[in-house]
Amino acid sequence: MKIVTVVGARPQFIKAAAMSRILRETHVEVLVHTGQHHDPMMSDVFFTELQIPHPDYDLGISGGSHAQMTARMLTALEEVLIKEAPDALLIYGDTNSTLAAALAAVKLRIPVIHVEAGNRLGTLDNPEEINRIVADHTAKLLFACVPSAVEALKKENLQDRAYLVGDPMLDAFCHYRQWNGGQPPQTLSGLDGHAVRTPERFYYLTCHREENTRTDDTLAQILMAMESLPHPTLYPVHPRNHAAAVRLGQKLKLQNVKLLSPIGYLESIALVANAQRVVTDSGGVQREAFFAHVPCVTVFPYAVWPETMPGMCNVLAAPETEDILAKLSVTPAWSDAASPFGDGHACEKIIAHLPEALR
């Protein structure tokens, strides 16, 4: 079959790295990059280090409001789909790229395959929630990562299209985790361009969501929590936070929080796996911490991945210094049970379902 895959943001590049390697053994893939994440350190580096095939189409669409971005993507993707006439469209997750691709394909009567289907926060205040709901209800095939996602799809009467296959993020983590012997790089690039030596003991922070970075006050609360910890914190700064991070670094006189330039996936999972604790608002990083058995605090009001939370292995915190520190003091209890995210072979299971399900 010919399958058009649409990606546009960092988490999708990681899933595509795991999926494309297997998919192309038996099918023809046309890879489309919308350009949603256009910064080289948020896009190009992933294609290079993960050996993702070069996109057949790079649409270069980013910026603007949600409506403006999605509208431009919808128009451009429709043109690609008409030209390529694929047997199916493959999309990941819950970005504006996902939403635009799903709408373009379903209106052209092209079957939609949604990987990472069924995740629900239970609130439409979160823009990604809207994207994933629309994508699920337009899709012909729904591949869920975890049991809770399957239950959510059942509540929406989508169970006949749903398959529990595991998480392609775990596939990628298992495949790439031994990069550099599983050790983080000895030095990293600081936000000011100077080299930062990786400490023997450190915490790892990622923070990019609008809820946590909309104001200096909220981001300052998070940074001050990390500043007060006994070991340094390594914080790769998302491009959208660059100005605020520099401003707050000077205002708060940060010494213990090391502001870094954005890093690639291989460096990131090595830092996750070797950190004392992880503090994040990323759905991907909290899963990677769970895969690596590293305690995690997620600064977000909703349980994005409830399977990571038994035994206090991942706990939610408000963007407040005292609450983050309190949650960092929790001692987790890891389970010996099989991972709820599968066995690291989700991509093979997805591809095995395609011929019969799309017949």
- Out of 33, 37, 114, 208, the active site residue is 208
Type of residue at 269: I
Question: What is the edge-to-edge ordering of all strands in the sheet holding 203-205?
Answer: 257-260, 233-236, 203-205, 278-280, 296-299, 314-317
CB-CB contact of 315 with 298 (8 Å): yes
CB neighbour burial string for 2-39, b if at least 16 within 10 angstroms, e if fewer: ebbbbbbbbbbbbbbbbbbbbbeeebebbbbbbbbbbe
Report how far residue 40's alpha carbon sits from residue 104's, in angstroms, rounded to the nearest whole number: 27
State both tokens at 108: 């052209």
Other C-beta atoms closer than 10 Å to the C-beta of 85 total 10
Report how far residue 328's alpha carbon sits from residue 317's, in angstroms, rounded to the nearest whole number: 9
In 177-282, where does DSSP find H-type helix? Answer: 210-213, 216-227, 242-251, 265-274
Question: What are the CA-CA distances from residue 51 to residues 18, 20, 38, 47, 322 (Å)?
Answer: 10, 10, 18, 6, 42
> Any catalytic annotation for residue 54?
no
Report how far residue 166's alpha carbon sits from residue 193's, in angstroms, rounded to the nearest whole number: 39
H or E segment to which residue 298 belongs? strand 296-299
**Tokens 């340094």 found at:** 232
Report how far residue 41's alpha carbon sits from residue 247's, in angstroms, rounded to the nearest whole number: 21
Alpha carbon 205 to its chain's center: 15
CB-CB contact of 8 with 95 (8 Å): yes
CB-CB contact of 281 with 207 (8 Å): yes
Question: Catalytic residues, which ones?
Answer: 208
